[in-house]
Structure 1
Amino acid sequence: MNDRPAKAAGAGRADVGARPVPRSTGVPASAAVRYALVPVPVPRLSLHAVARRSGLHPDLVSRFVALGLVDAERDGAGRLSFGPTAPAVLARIQRLRSGLCLNYASIGLVLDLLDRISLLEAALRGRVTRSETPPWT
């Protein structure tokens, strides 16, 4: 039998990329800022992975890339690779197509307008709320 107490799940394992902050600096560990020395690569998805996650045929996903509805990059072998948000964008395209009966050319315009609206709403949320005094005009 082992006389040592059992460790909690995950105890004793160091977080990947995490380093302890030296205590000799006088800065509390909670206030210390950590900077990544090497940028963490964004995971890329293959054409078949995106098609499987979105429930679409790979040829249709390729057609959306050709129409400019979905962003993709080509690797050295010429295969398409997508960002992690591509399945959500494809789902949005499908909802617009089925819900509003739009063709694919107009879906590109609607997607651009929806992105613009979300940027404007974010800018409005970032502004200072109304003050108690009325405006001078």
Structure 2
Amino acid sequence: MKDRPAEGAGRGRAGMGDRPVRTGADVTASTAVRYALVPAPTLSLDTVARLSGLHPDLVRRFVALGLVDAGRDAAGHLVFDPTAPAVVARVQRLRSGLCLNYASIGLVLDLLDRISLLETALRGRGTRSEIPPWT
């Protein structure tokens, strides 16, 4: 029988095995619960459809395709962020203006959001590119 070191020996934490030691600050930060002071405003499916001028089934299809974000309330009905009508209008503009199918619209929306984030980050840095503008 070979000699094996005792569990946890040589690790500086006798008897702790491979589990990390959590300090009081780590425990407090990971178990903190946040509550909203005011309930976040949401829109119903019918409201989004009415504001967008679309049939509710088409709005449901947008949710199923991942083009519009929606959640569920306690009763299981779709609820939307107040910006949902603007997102639906953006989808409709891309569909009619560029003749894109809904799968490609999802990709275009993701790319436009990414471009917006990058432009915001560049503006926040306050630095200009070394390359002169093309105009």
Amino acid at match of 2:80: F
The residue aligned with 1:17 is none
Amino acid at match of 1:70: V
Amino acid at match of 1:83: D
Q: CA deviation at 1:38?
A: 5.2
The residue aligned with 2:126 is 128
The residue aligned with 2:39 is 41
Pair 1:73–1:38, CA change in 2 (3 A): closer
1:93 aligns with 2:91: yes
Amino acid at match of 1:125: R
Q: Distance in 2 between matches of 1:93 and 1:67?
A: 12
Q: CA deviation at 1:76?
A: 1.8
Identity of aligned residues (%): 80
Aligned pairs for 1:14-29 (under 5 A) are none
Q: Distance in 2 between matches of 1:50 and 1:38?
A: 24
Amino acid at match of 2:100: L
- Please state whether the residue corresponding to 1:81 is helix, strand or coil: strand
Considering only aligned residues, what root-mean-square deviation do their CA atoms show, in Å?
1.6
The structure that is helix-richer by fraction is: 2
- Please state whether the residue corresponding to 2:79 is helix, strand or coil: strand
- Please state whether the residue corresponding to 2:126 is helix, strand or coil: coil
Report the structure number with the largest CA radius of gyration: 2
User: Which residues of structure 2 form unaligned runs of 5+?
Assistant: 1-34, 131-135
Show CA shifts across 1:22-53 (max 9, x none): xxxxxxxxxxxxxxx95322210000000000
**TM-score, with normalisation over the residues of structure 1?**
0.66
User: Which residues of structure 1 form unaligned runs of 5+?
Assistant: 1-36
Q: Distance in 2 between matches of 1:85 and 1:99?
A: 21
1:107 aligns with 2:100: no
- Please state whether the residue corresponding to 1:42 is helix, strand or coil: coil
**TM-score, with normalisation over the residues of structure 2?**
0.67
